[in-house]
């Protein structure tokens, strides 16, 4: 496994949800939680969509099968795997390395990118050998980097990133994005000359975690707050938030490489970026490029993650890591702004009305509204408007200028086919 590497403004600003009900794939997670870390070693979703739970004894296997999931007998428990990662964390830090729990192989996979010296890799290999034979060492192409610089729509003196999701604390609305995109106090503007201020970064966490808020100066996210753009002036309404599972099919949007699809390959990943170590990340096989940082990862209309970093690119493929949205919401004490579901509210709390009076279904498409997209692209694509210190944020910061994003027609078609099969 070597890597190559917008609804109308809510009448009540407190509208939002901290979490959604777990998706159907949550059965495996529930079983792991009930059986405990000494009898299980993670769960995932197989190619047929059935949950699989790694177990260490026959009684646990029988309970998993009775619940309707598939059991796989393994040698090492989750406690063993987590003990191994604790030992790795206690070793001298080596930038350019990462590790994650591979539930399917019942191993801890340690990766080193092209910047890791032979001497450092040899020392880390000795640590792994001391842990046991269930730690797998792999060298990867490319470099593990945060996905910043070189793209619109969000620019500041710290670099360029992508907006993630809109959130609220009940008094003001914010953009939730990656923490490495800029330190607290970074200022964002909506015009090409940096004169119309939109918001300011605050409460960022990086390294350690990778999330931050951008507070809207107006206090409201405005039109398009619950929509993630997917191209052709269309968008997917976000209806909730959850934690993903290994094997789950996901989509990612970013202002550099557009809409891309992949799947979750591991959870609780640790990445030693040059700037510092980030833990608790979601590992995926979806690609990303510089400028995609902070952009949203989602599935079935459910918010899952924020693009953090990785290796490789969308020409050759790679590995991308995401900050879980659930943890960011908890730590920041904010709620996701979501669409109203057909036939009622979200369950956790009422949600904003959908655009043009329409009710939304989970993962349904919706028109992306707000500032004229073609005008924004003209301004943002003009090289005269890009220079040192230029601060630009394009349109509605969650309806992420779709026509610039979609660079691969096959990915957009795959997305439509997936949602057509899922939601009818």
Residues 305, 157 within the same domain: yes
Question: Tell me: the pLDDT tens digits for 57-81?
Answer: 999 999 999 999 999 999 999 999 9
| Contact criterion met (CB below 8 Å) for 401 and 229 | yes
Question: What are the start-end ranges of the E strands in 13-134?
Answer: 40-45, 51-55, 70-73, 97-102, 107-112
- The catalytically annotated residue of 192, 210, 226, 300 is 210
Quick one: residue 178, left, alpha or beta (phi over 0 = left, psi -120 to 50 = alpha)? Answer: beta
Residues 260, 276 within the same domain: yes
In a 3-state reduction of DSSP, which class is residue 325? helix
Letter string b/e over residues 311-349, b meaning 16 or more CB atoms within 10 A of that residue's CB: bbbbeebbbbbbbbbbebbeebebbbbbbbbeeeebebe
Q: Distance between CA 331 and CA 323 in Å, rounded?
A: 12
**Residue 235 has what pLDDT?**
75
- The catalytically annotated residue of 156, 172, 180, 226 is 180
Residues 382, 260 within the same domain: yes
SS3 sequence of 385-406: HCCCCCCCECCCCCCCCHHHHC
Lowest mean pLDDT among 101-110, 166-175, 401-410: 401-410
Residues 57, 191 within the same domain: no
Residues 3, 30 within the same domain: no
Structural domains of the chain, count: 2
Residues 253, 320 within the same domain: yes
In the 8-state DSSP scheme, what is residue 63? H
Residues 34, 104 within the same domain: no
Question: Tell me: the pLDDT tens digits for 12-66?
Answer: 333 455 544 344 447 999 999 999 999 999 999 998 889 999 999 999 999 999 9
Q: Residue 247 CB: number of other CB atoms within 10 A?
A: 21
Residues 235, 131 within the same domain: yes
Q: Average pLDDT, stretch 212-218?
A: 90
Residues 55, 124 within the same domain: no
- The catalytically annotated residue of 212, 293, 308, 365 is 293
Q: Average pLDDT, stretch 393-413?
A: 40
Q: Which domain holds residue 54?
A: 26-73
Question: Tell me: the pLDDT tens digits for 74-110?
Answer: 999 999 999 999 999 999 999 999 999 999 999 999 9
Residues 14, 35 within the same domain: no
**Active-site residue, 180 included:** yes
In a 3-state reduction of DSSP, which class is residue 211? strand
Residues 254, 111 within the same domain: yes
| Contact criterion met (CB below 8 Å) for 146 and 309 | yes
Q: Distance between CA 88 and CA 162 in Å, rounded?
A: 32
Sequence-distant (6+) residues with CB within 8 A of 66 are none
Residues 370, 294 within the same domain: yes
Question: Tell me: the pLDDT tens digits for 133-144?
Answer: 999 999 988 888
């Amino acid at each position: 496994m070597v890597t190559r590497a917008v609804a109308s403004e809510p009448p009540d600003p407190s509208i939002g949800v901290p979490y959604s009900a777990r998706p159907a794939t949550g059965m495996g997670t529930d079983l792991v939680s009930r059986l405990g870390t000494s009898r299980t070693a993670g769960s995932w979703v197989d190619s047929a969509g059935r949950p699989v739970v790694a177990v260490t004894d026959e009684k646990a296997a029988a309970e998993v099968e009775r619940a309707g999931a598939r059991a796989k007998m393994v040698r090492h428990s989750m406690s063993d795997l987590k003990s191994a990662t604790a030992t790795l964390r206690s070793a001298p830090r080596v930038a350019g390395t990462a590790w994650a729990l591979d539930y399917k192989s019942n191993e801890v996979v340690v990766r080193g990118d092209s910047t890791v010296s032979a001497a450092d890799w040899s020392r880390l290999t000795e640590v792994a050998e001391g842990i046991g034979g269930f730690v797998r060492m792999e060298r990867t192409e490319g470099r593990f980097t945060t996905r910043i610089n070189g793209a619109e729509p969000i620019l500041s003196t710290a670099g360029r990133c992508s907006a993630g999701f809109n959130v609220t604390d009940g008094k003001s609305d914010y953009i939730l994005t990656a923490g490495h995109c800029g330190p607290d106090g970074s200022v964002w503007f909506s015009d090409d000359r940096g004169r119309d201020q939109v918001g300011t970064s605050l409460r960022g966490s990086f390294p350690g975690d990778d999330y931050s808020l951008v507070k809207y100066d107006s206090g409201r996210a405005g039109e398009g707050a619950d929509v993630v753009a997917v191209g052709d002036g269309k968008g997917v309404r976000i209806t909730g938030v959850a934690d993903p599972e290994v094997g789950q099919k996901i989509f990612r949007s970013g202002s550099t490489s557009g809409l891309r699809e992949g799947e979750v390959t591991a959870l609780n990943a640790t990445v030693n970026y040059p700037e510092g170590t980030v833990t608790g990340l979601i590992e995926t096989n979806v690609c990303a490029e510089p400028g995609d940082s902070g952009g949203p990862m989602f599935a079935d209309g459910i918010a899952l993650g924020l693009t953090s970093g990785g290796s490789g690119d969308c020409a050759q493929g790679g590995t991308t890591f995401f900050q879980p949205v659930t943890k960011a919401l908890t730590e920041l004490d904010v709620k996701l702004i979501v669409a109203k579901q057909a036939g009622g509210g979200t369950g956790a709390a009422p949600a904003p009305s959908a655009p043009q009076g329409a009710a939304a279904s989970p993962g349904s498409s919706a028109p992306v509204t707000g500032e004229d997209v073609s005008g924004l692209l003209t301004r943002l694509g003009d090289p005269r408007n890009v220079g040192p210190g230029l601060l630009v944020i394009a349109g509605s910061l969650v309806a992420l200028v779709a026509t610039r994003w979609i660079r691969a027609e096959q990915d957009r078609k795959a997305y439509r086919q997936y949602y057509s099969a899922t939601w009818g």
